[in-house]
Amino acid sequence: MIKNLMKNENKIPKRTVNGILLLDKPLNLSSNTALQIVKRLFNAKKAGHTGSLDPLATGLLPICFGEATKFSQYLLDADKTYLVKAQLGIRTKTGDAEGEIISTRGVSDFNIDAIKHALNLFLGASEQVPPMYSALKFQGQPLYKLARQNIEVERAKRKIFISRIELIDYKNNIIEFSVDCSKGTYIRTLVDDLGEQLACGAHVIYLRRTAVGRFDSSKMSTPEEIKNLAEINLDELDKLLLPIEEAIAHMPISIVNAEQVYALRCGQAIFLDILASGLVNLQTQNGEFIGVGETVESGKIIPRRLVSYN
């Protein structure tokens, strides 16, 4: 099915598409390949994803089309939720089932309370060393390319935050849990660290992202579902798209008039009688989304990211 999707090349001119699609990324597909499939099906001029999922991971991958790409950073920065299954007793090079086994150890007869205690140790703020098998770059080279050459380089620790980690099941040396975490958290590293905490090693055997910020899995679409709608007509396909402003719906709304919109689009600051500080969601009185501004002084707002449909 995936090969057929990749071959689906529309001959009509690429069109301007604006909005956000919640894609259910399939197994064994890179995030970039999934993006290219969806972009072709929408016949869109411009699109980008908002944070990679490993090929062995599935689930929520927001795709931003057109003007929505200007606001993709706010989804990249958002907290994420994952459903995870970890196999105890085996540690691998990559931290998942794809990697070469580097150690096997016996697994103690853990009870549920012991597993919960180990998981809870990761709650809150901590530092994490990114894995070598990742897309992070060292001197312009992705780390995973160096890792495949058996080259290991020092990686700086990154601050992460885990706000919730909840055990779902534990049997046959497999731990299933759900976790809410900050951007930049590597679940493979989390599971590897969990395995060391339990003194038996562990690796990821299943990983599914179920939420990105305020977006959850309830409105996801698979590539196959998208293809079926594309074969009906593009109007039906476009009904899957969420408005651009959904990406920043967590920001306080500031209402601006036509004169202020003009000033913002000219790169000028405006002044509003508001109490909000930081980033704000700029809208007209009619509810038209203008973009994101930032309060830099009391009531003074400067433009940060503005939509442009011209």
153-185, pLDDT tens digit by residue? 888 889 999 999 999 999 999 999 999 999 999
User: For position 9, what pLDDT does the model report?
Assistant: 52
Q: b/e for 68-78, b at 16 or more Cβ within 10 A? A: bbbbbebbeeb
Question: From residue 281, how far is each of 75, 247, 251, 298 by CA, in Å?
Answer: 15, 10, 6, 16
Please, what CATH class does the domain formed by 251-306 belong to? mainly beta
Tell me whether residue 270 is exposed, middle or buried, using C-beta atoms within 10 angstroms of its C-beta: 0 to 12, 13 to 18, 19 or more: buried
- Is the per-residue pLDDT at 310 higher than 70? no
Q: How many other C-beta atoms are found inside a 10 Å radius of the C-beta of residue 243?
A: 12
Closest by CA to 181, choosing from 106, 78, 104, is 78
In the chain, ranges of CATH 3.30.70 domains: 2-77+215-246
In the chain, ranges of CATH 3.30.2350.10 domains: 80-212
Q: If you average pLDDT over residues 272-293, what whole number do you get?
A: 91
Closest by CA to 194, choosing from 208, 168, 170, 175, is 175
- Is the per-residue pLDDT at 64 higher than 90? yes
pLDDT bucket at 1, cuts 50 / 70 / 90: low
Q: What type of residue is 73?
A: Q
Rounded Cα distance, 151 and 167, in Å: 35
User: For position 183, what pLDDT does the model report?
Assistant: 92
pLDDT bucket at 275, cuts 50 / 70 / 90: confident
Helix, strand, coil percentages in the chain from 3-state DSSP, rounded to 5: 25, 35, 35
Tell me whether residue 298 is exposed, middle or buried, using C-beta atoms within 10 angstroms of its C-beta: 0 to 12, 13 to 18, 19 or more: exposed
Q: How many other C-beta atoms are found inside a 10 Å radius of the C-beta of residue 280?
A: 22
Max CA-CA distance within the chain?
Answer: 70
pLDDT bucket at 7, cuts 50 / 70 / 90: low
Catalytic residues: 54
> Terminal CA-to-CA distance of the chain, rounded, Å?
37
pLDDT in tens, 224-262: 999 999 998 999 999 999 999 999 999 999 999 999 999
Structure tokens at 175: 């731990």
Q: What is the full DSSP assignment across 101-116?
A: EEEE-------HHHHH
Domain 80-212: which topology? Pseudouridine synthase (3.30.2350)
Q: How many other C-beta atoms are found inside a 10 Å radius of the C-beta of residue 90?
A: 21
User: For position 172, what pLDDT does the model report?
Assistant: 95
In the chain, ranges of CATH 2.30.130.10 domains: 251-306
User: For position 92, what pLDDT does the model report?
Assistant: 95
Torsion of CA 292, 47, 23, 122, to 10 degrees: -60
Rounded Cα distance, 119 and 138, in Å: 31
Please, what CATH class does the domain formed by 2-77+215-246 belong to? alpha beta
The pTM (predicted TM-score) of the whole model is 0.90
pLDDT bucket at 52, cuts 50 / 70 / 90: confident
